[in-house]
Structure 1
């Protein structure tokens, strides 16, 4: 298994982050400008193995006195069940904790059964379910301390 390389998003890798997001969350595709805006308020990373895009992650920092950060890890289907998600998850969790988060949430598209299994296996439990106003979904918000 090739070594995983995880990098913070740069202008050169915004499109890779967008591609991974849009493949895994086809109900909520993002434009490059939307990804650029997200990168201004969240910590975005991309992961590669042997030069191939494996996935992307998002850490939404806690804010306004809240102890809650959101960690979302997306692994492209061809790279699942190889331990890459574990590495990405551990790195994202450490980053969220370094920002002062004591509660972590994640958001998973309900049809992403692999993602739901991964979250539940890591101690997350469902706290909310919503349908975006533009359609698609539902999305499930899960939480853990």
Structure 2
């Protein structure tokens, strides 16, 4: 049975392992091994995602199947370069493991994300998505996100072409 709850500090190691697995399964073939390893260490190592679980600026919602983390979404302050509204919030990471894609987990996590944004006074949600991640782009577009710019997303020494998308609430 799939359940949902807010992440706790103690979830850090399991969440980092799930995030590494999801990113590698989805994008691992796109990068040299050294670039992938550098990114995974930076994003999901001790100073990355696990450390943000105790940071009040971030909120992380988990999807669990029989206690195993199968998906999550992370929200927080907008960090993209440029001028952003003070009432904007960023959707940083939105990961669902392959076997649970298409089962409603992503929709449940997105519903929580939008409610979280509204309940914290946000008037817009900002995110970036890899230009060739067509499935994710279609998912975000179904919720009304539209492309507003480009972002150079670094994975080790590789620079990916991401699109910045915005949803006005």
TM superposition score category, shorter chain reference: 0.7 to 0.9
* Maintained 8 Å contact 1:54/1:76: yes
Give RMSD over aligned pairs: 2.4
Q: Residues 29-68 of structure 1 correspond to what in structure 2 (within 5 A)? A: 29=40, 30=43, 31-39=45-53, 40=55, 41-61=57-77, 66-68=86-88
* Maintained 8 Å contact 2:12/2:51: no
Q: Residues 17-36 of structure 1 correspond to what in structure 2 (within 5 A)? A: 17-26=15-24, 28-29=39-40, 30=43, 31-36=45-50
Residue 54 of structure 1 and its aligned partner are, at CA, apart by 1.5
Question: Larger radius of gyration, structure 1 or 2?
Answer: 2
Partner secondary structure for residue 107 of structure 1: strand
Question: Hey, which of these two has a bigger chunk of helix by percent?
Answer: 2
* Maintained 8 Å contact 1:130/1:138: yes
Which segments of 5 or more consecutive residues in structure 2 lack a partner in the other structure? 25-35
Of 109-118 and 80-89, more deviation after overlay is shown by 109-118
Of 97-106 and 37-46, more deviation after overlay is shown by 37-46
Q: Does 1:15 align with 2:4?
A: no
In the alignment of these two chains, the number of paired residues is: 143
Of 106-115 and 120-129, more deviation after overlay is shown by 106-115
Partner of residue 89, structure 2: 69
Residue 16 of structure 1 and its aligned partner are, at CA, apart by 2.7
Of 59-68 and 97-106, more deviation after overlay is shown by 59-68
Aligned equivalents of 1:46, 1:136: Cα separation in 2? 29
Partner secondary structure for residue 153 of structure 2: coil
Q: CA 1:15 to 1:128, structure 2 compared with 1: closer, same or farther past 3 Å?
A: farther
Partner of residue 107, structure 1: 128
Partner of residue 33, structure 2: none
